[in-house]
């Protein structure tokens, strides 16, 4: 592990992984700053937590100067590795590593890493269940929702850590080293990030980079791309196959899943015992079983875990049946190939909801799975027009939003039909992540009996035009789009901050948040919304309250300092400086304010004329107006509100 005490460390990206990295580095004694292109209103209570941990942050802008004065930069999975500021840092020989690399510095135990275009979450979860049933101390983490670095304190030398790993996490590793590396499959994906399929394959292949002869590589013998990597892998290779009679490995033979190793042949289970839909899920089960055998799991425990496993949330997840119509949530299908696999599990009568944020792949492979199987397709999100071009001639309906698509599909369905959300796109144009998209879908389905009856729409063309704006369809519930509203005010008082810590953050019209790519597990590939448009900055801040941004700062005043976005870490206090370049829209600069320690009688507003308007020295010359201070007592009065 590298020495971190008193080192200057920058964390790029403040989704789950970024916040976990920042907290860990601060715990190790580093002077930590976090940076994210999103405005403060996007983070709610997370900013207060960072402040309490004495972590600085710079929001709404990436300044090259900030990157170049660091000793170490840790990059969240959703941040493009070719970000210009990162390129500049690497030219200066500054250490730049991904989150999983930083996690490996604190690692104990045996690491099993699982990657692939599809099936990662199912395989990772099931392998964890198999090992747990065998009595091993096991931890499941990574792209599945728990950042590796946030779990390292739980690991012990005898732990087995099962980690789902995305191409974003793997592409820039240096010494990250799984003892068992699993590659499930590789199909075209994330071309918006990796640019070419070859670059995407190379990122996936990084999982084998540091393996040695006593490690294991588990490979899908039925995938030609996976097999093309086998000759250059240094570790011991084990295979699984649905189609081949393998001399060693895990295979399917006459309805039985067999494990062969040397002179041993053991039936692990019968295929009919698998409760998941689709042949591709048999492959996922075989991969998990093969990995469990390599790691020494009990054969009976493997079989028991498979019998009890009903799948993961958001992956062809049965929601409910409403008036004879079955609803399935496959929000985790963020690739065209995943949607093709989902469609293959249904024979006919499907009403498919497609769309979201385009990832650069063609949608034409869907055609062969639509014919004779799908009655109609409902398009949502930013990729709708691109999908419509690729699927010209298909019965398409431009719903615009999920709120509109669900009742539209239900209105056309008859008893015995299926409504399937399987978007083939990421979620970041309208949702925080695929999990939120799936939850919204399930909430809409739960409310359906109160909104619309199946078969109630008699006009086949009534929904043929795009929905106007993000509004819900008539009669549709508001659903979890409420989650995209401004963060709730903190109900709990914050501890006083010492005067030497200065935080600078942005206010104004951009205090109304847009849908974010906050990451979550990952699409988790947990992308952060780096391609988001610049916020509307045309309005002057009015009636701003510290509490409104969820910061909950106690005994503080606000002071305008100009245009920019920065929060100065404690090592640079007590001298606040305006540090960011101006960013203007229609001639109106963004407004930024300093949170400065001031003694004000509890419950009173700070008089406007007592605020120093320092904007004039930056050429703005505009007055500060309508600024109010809400000390801790005001926050206490709202204790009934959620955090």
pLDDT reading at 172 higher than 70? yes
Q: Is the dihedral of CA 130, 131, 132, 134 positive or negative?
A: positive
pLDDT-based confidence at residue 82 (cuts at 50, 70, 90): confident
Greatest mean pLDDT range, 145-159, 160-174, 285-299, 593-607 = 285-299
pLDDT-based confidence at residue 152 (cuts at 50, 70, 90): confident
- Reported as type and span, the H/E element at residue 369 is helix 367-370
Cα dist. 622→520, 562, 565, 589 in Å?
40, 10, 18, 10
pLDDT-based confidence at residue 180 (cuts at 50, 70, 90): very high
Mean pLDDT for the stretch of residues 337-366: 91
Checking phi first, is residue 135 left (phi over 0); if not, alpha (psi -120 to 50) or beta? left
- CA 472 to CA 451: how far, in whole Å? 12
- CA 518 to CA 193: how far, in whole Å? 17
pLDDT digits (tens, 9 = 90+) for 27-70: 999 999 999 988 877 787 788 888 888 888 888 888 899 999 99
- The pLDDT value recorded for residue 1 is 64
pLDDT digits (tens, 9 = 90+) for 195-224: 788 889 999 999 999 999 999 999 999 999
Structure tokens at 642: 């959620």
- The pLDDT value recorded for residue 277 is 86
- The pLDDT value recorded for residue 78 is 82
3-class DSSP assignment, residue 131: helix
Q: Which residue has the higher pLDDT, 514 or 206?
A: 206
pLDDT digits (tens, 9 = 90+) for 430-473: 998 899 999 999 999 998 876 665 665 433 333 333 333 333 33
**113 close to 178: Cβ distance less than 8 angstroms:** yes
- The pLDDT value recorded for residue 191 is 67
Mean pLDDT for the stretch of residues 354-376: 92
**115 close to 207: Cβ distance less than 8 angstroms:** yes
pLDDT reading at 190 higher than 90? no
Q: Which residue has the higher pLDDT, 491 or 97?
A: 97
Q: Is the dihedral of CA 305, 339, 529, 494 positive or negative?
A: negative
pLDDT reading at 230 higher than 90? yes
- The pLDDT value recorded for residue 568 is 36
- The pLDDT value recorded for residue 297 is 96
3-class DSSP assignment, residue 120: helix
pLDDT-based confidence at residue 257 (cuts at 50, 70, 90): very high
pLDDT-based confidence at residue 279 (cuts at 50, 70, 90): confident
Among 104-113, 482-491, 516-525, the minimum mean pLDDT is found in 482-491
Among 201-215, 383-397, 483-497, the minimum mean pLDDT is found in 483-497
- The pLDDT value recorded for residue 145 is 74
Mode of pairing for the β-strands spanning 56-59 and 31-36: parallel
Q: Which domains does the chain have, with CATH numbers?
A: 8-101 (3.40.50.720), 107-308 (3.40.1190.10), 317-484 (3.90.190.20)
Number of other CB atoms surrounding residue 159 within 10 Å:
17
- The pLDDT value recorded for residue 168 is 87
- The pLDDT value recorded for residue 597 is 33
**91 close to 85: Cβ distance less than 8 angstroms:** no
**113 close to 141: Cβ distance less than 8 angstroms:** no
Structure tokens at 301: 């425990």
- CA 255 to CA 207: how far, in whole Å? 32
Average model confidence (pLDDT) across the chain = 74
Share of the chain above pLDDT 70, in %: 69
Mean pLDDT for the stretch of residues 228-246: 95
pLDDT reading at 323 higher than 60? yes
Structure tokens at 465: 């035009």
Residue located via tokens 């190790």: 28
Cβ-in-10-Å burial (0-12, 13-18, 19+) of 512 comes to middle
Mean pLDDT for the stretch of residues 90-108: 93
The residues, ordered by sequence, that sit 6+ positions from 36 with a Cβ below 8 Å of its Cβ are 12, 13, 14, 18, 42, 43, 57, 58, 59, 528
Q: Taking the chain, what is the end-to-end CA distance rounded to the nearest angstrom?
A: 37
Share of the chain above pLDDT 90, in %: 49
Residues in the chain: 643
pLDDT-based confidence at residue 89 (cuts at 50, 70, 90): very high
């Amino acid at each position: 592990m590298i020495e971190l005490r008193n080192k200057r460390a920058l964390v790029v990206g403040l989704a789950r992984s970024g916040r976990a990295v920042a907290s860990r580095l601060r715990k190790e004694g580093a002077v930590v700053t976090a940076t994210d292109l999103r405005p403060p209103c996007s983070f709610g209570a997370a900013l207060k937590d960072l402040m309490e941990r004495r972590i600085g942050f710079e929001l709404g802008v990436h300044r090259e100067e900030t990157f170049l004065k660091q000793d170490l930069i840790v990059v969240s999975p959703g941040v493009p590795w070719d970000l210009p500021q990162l390129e500049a840092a690497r030219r200066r020989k500054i250490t730049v590593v991904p989150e999983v690399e930083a996690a490996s510095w604190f690692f104990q135990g045996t690491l099993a890493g699982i990657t692939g275009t599809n099936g990662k979450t199912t395989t990772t979860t099931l392998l964890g269940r198999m090992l747990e049933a065998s009595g091993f101390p096991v931890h499941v983490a990574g792209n599945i929702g728990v950042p590796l670095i946030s779990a390292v304190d739980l690991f012990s030398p005898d732990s087995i850590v099962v980690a789902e790993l995305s191409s974003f996490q793997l592409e820039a590793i240096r010494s990250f080293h799984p003892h068992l590396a699993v590659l499930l499959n590789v199909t075209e994906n994330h071309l918006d990030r990796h640019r070419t399929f070859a670059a995407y394959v190379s990122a996936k292949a990084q999982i084998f980079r540091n393996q040695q002869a006593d490690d294991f590589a588990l490979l899908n013998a039925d995938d030609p791309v996976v097999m093309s990597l086998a000759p250059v892998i240094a570790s011991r290779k084990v295979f699984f196959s649905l189609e081949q009679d393998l001399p060693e490995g895990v295979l399917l033979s006459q309805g039985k899943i067999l494990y062969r190793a040397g002179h041993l042949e053991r039936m692990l289970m019968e295929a009919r015992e698998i409760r998941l839909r689709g042949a591709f899920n048999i492959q996922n089960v075989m991969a998990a079983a093969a990995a469990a055998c390599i790691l020494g799991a009990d054969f009976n425990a493997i079989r028991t875990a498979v019998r009890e496993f009903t799948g993961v949330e958001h992956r062809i997840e049965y929601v409910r049946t409403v008036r004879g119509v079955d609803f399935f949530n496959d929000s985790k299908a963020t690739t065209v190939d995943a949607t093709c696999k989902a469609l293959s599990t249904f024979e006919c009568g499907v009403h498919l909801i497609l769309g979201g944020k385009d990832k650069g792949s063609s949608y034409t492979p869907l055609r062969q799975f639509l014919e004779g199987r799908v009655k109609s397709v409902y398009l949502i999100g930013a990729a709708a027009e691109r999908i419509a071009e690729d699927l010209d001639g298909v019965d398409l309906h431009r719903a615009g939003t999920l709120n509109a698509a669900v009742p539209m599909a239900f209105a056309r369905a008859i008893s015995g039909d299926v409504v399937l959300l399987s978007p083939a796109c990421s979620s970041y144009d309208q949702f925080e992540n695929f999990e939120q998209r799936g939850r919204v879908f399930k909430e809409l389905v739960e409310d359906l009996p109160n909104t619309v009856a199946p078969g109630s729409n008699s006009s086949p063309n009534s929904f043929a035009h795009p929905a106007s704006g993000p509004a819900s369809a008539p009669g549709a519930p508001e659903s979890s789009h409420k989650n995209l509203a401004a963060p709730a005010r903190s109900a709990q008082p914050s501890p006083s901050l010492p005067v030497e810590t200065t935080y600078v953050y942005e206010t104004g019209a951009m205090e109304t948040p847009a849908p974010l790519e906050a990451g979550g597990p990952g699409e988790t590939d947990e992308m952060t919304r780096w391609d988001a448009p610049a916020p509307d900055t045309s309005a002057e801040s009015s009636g701003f309250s510290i509490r409104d941004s969820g910061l909950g700062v106690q005994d503080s005043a606000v002071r305008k300092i100009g245009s920019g976005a920065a929060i100065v870490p404690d090592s640079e206090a007590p001298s606040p400086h305006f540090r960011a370049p101006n960013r203007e829209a229609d001639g109106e600069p963004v407004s930024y304010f300093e949170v400065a320690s001031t003694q004000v009688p509890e419950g009173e507003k700070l008089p406007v004329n007592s605020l120093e308007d320092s904007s004039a020295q930056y050429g703005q010359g505009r007055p500060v107006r309508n600024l109010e201070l809400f000390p801790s007592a005001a926050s206490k009065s709202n204790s009934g509100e959620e955090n």
